[in-house]
Amino acid sequence: MPDIPTLFRDDLMTFRTLDTADLAGKRALVRVDFNVPVDGGKITDDTRLRAALPTISYLSKQGAKVILLAHFDRPKGKVVPEMSLAFVAEPLSKLLEQPVAFASDAVGPAAADVVNGLENGGVALLENVRFHAGEEKNDADFAAALAANGDVYVNDAFSAAHRAHASTEGLAKLLPAYPGLSMQRELEALDAALGNPKKPVIGIVGGSKVSTKLDLLNNLVAKLDRLAIGGGMANTFLFAQGHDVGASLCEKDLADTAREIIAKAEKAGCELLLPTDVVVAKKVAPGVETAVRALNEVQADDLILDAGPESAKRLLAAMDDSVTLIWNGPLGVFEVPPFDEATVSAAKHAAALAKSGKLVAVAGGGDTVAALNHAGVSADFTFVSTAGGAFLEWMEGKTLPGVAALEA
């Protein structure tokens, strides 16, 4: 881990790192993301717990008293017993192989008693910070109450960094602030993909609607060398170019907007890769009859559900000619085979290039992660972000309050 990594986006941002901190005996308030999926009171996927382990273990081994701050669900500033974080303490303790104390409140005497009872290297989890209205309001008094139990602040929850809340932004102004190891890795990966990438850079943006990704598209066409557009949103661009998209999902009212993005890309020297052939069917269902159509062959009752083989081949060749890839969104209805073929072939090709060291491949967003897992290649990508909204806002070029607050 470098002493002080310098991370770029649109401007210079420098962050202190944990290896520069004097941690022995210090109370380290650590914002983590423990908003885990639960069924019947049991965690069904502990990925988010595991993501926090390196930071927690590092702090503990350095002799810090580790105090974890997290939210769960949306209690909207009220105490909702079924949204308590108490159920996380035991599984986290097993993963860490050490006890995890639990405090029944995030502030006040209940929190102070648990924190004061910690030995150096000990770990405590405080109750859901969203039980207090001051959390989401980024209330200064609530942030101060949180800070009363800490000497240093560590944000290891990139997935919550797009929210200016007390535990993600307010605290960083009150205590010496550091990114956690998971946060640092995410920032470095995003910087390598979009902030200060090795060129040529190719992007893949898919999904159903252009309307949900206007900011993303406008930002990327100004920064990338190539941008492939897939999924339902590609239909809007094809329609804007004068192609008949049959009965496909298409935001026809955004045709002018699509044309503006096409013009902006051309002016910026960003090559747009739109489908040149498509896979169609009459309905979305497994095992239905499908056909590959050229763009001038789409019938009135056709649903375009995937990019065609020639389009996929062209995308793979573009990856071969690139050094960096950033990916958000599938190329088709990958959840319903055989409309997953373009997404899977692109994912496997990108993963193979990344594994061989020929491509820096960074991906993120819920559907994207699911698609890469479906293709069985997530582990071979350079980095796969599970941050969702924060990842998307970073790609859109927006300032993330929880990241900006950590700037040294």
Q: Would you name the residues annotated as active-site residues?
A: 48, 209, 366, 389
Single-letter residue type at 95: L
Query: What whole-number distance in Å separates Cα of residue 128 and Cα of residue 80?
Result: 10
3-state secondary structure at position 154: strand
Burial class (CB in 10 A: 0-12, 13-18, 19+), 189: buried
Token pair for 57 = 């273990």
* Nearest to 227, CA basis, from 200, 245, 250: 200
Per-residue burial over 283-319, b = 16 or more CB atoms within 10 Å of its CB, e = otherwise: eeeeeeebeebebeebeeebbbbbbbeebbbbbbebb
Counting every residue, how long is the chain? 408
- Residues forming a β-bridge with 205: 229, 328
Largest CA distance in the chain: 72
3-state secondary structure at position 286: coil
Token pair for 207 = 């999904």
3-state secondary structure 71-95: CCCCCCCCCCHHHCCHHHHHHHHHH
Query: What whole-number distance in Å separates Cα of residue 167 and Cα of residue 147?
Result: 9
The residues, any chain, with a CB within 8 Å of residue 160's CB and separated by 6 or more, are: 31, 33, 71, 168, 390, 402
3-state secondary structure at position 142: helix
Are the beta carbons of 170 and 148 closer than 8 angstroms? Answer: no
3-state secondary structure 339-362: CCHHHHHHHHHHHHHHHCCCCEEE
Per-residue burial over 234-265, b = 16 or more CB atoms within 10 Å of its CB, e = otherwise: bbbbbbbeebebbebbbbeebbebbeebbeeb
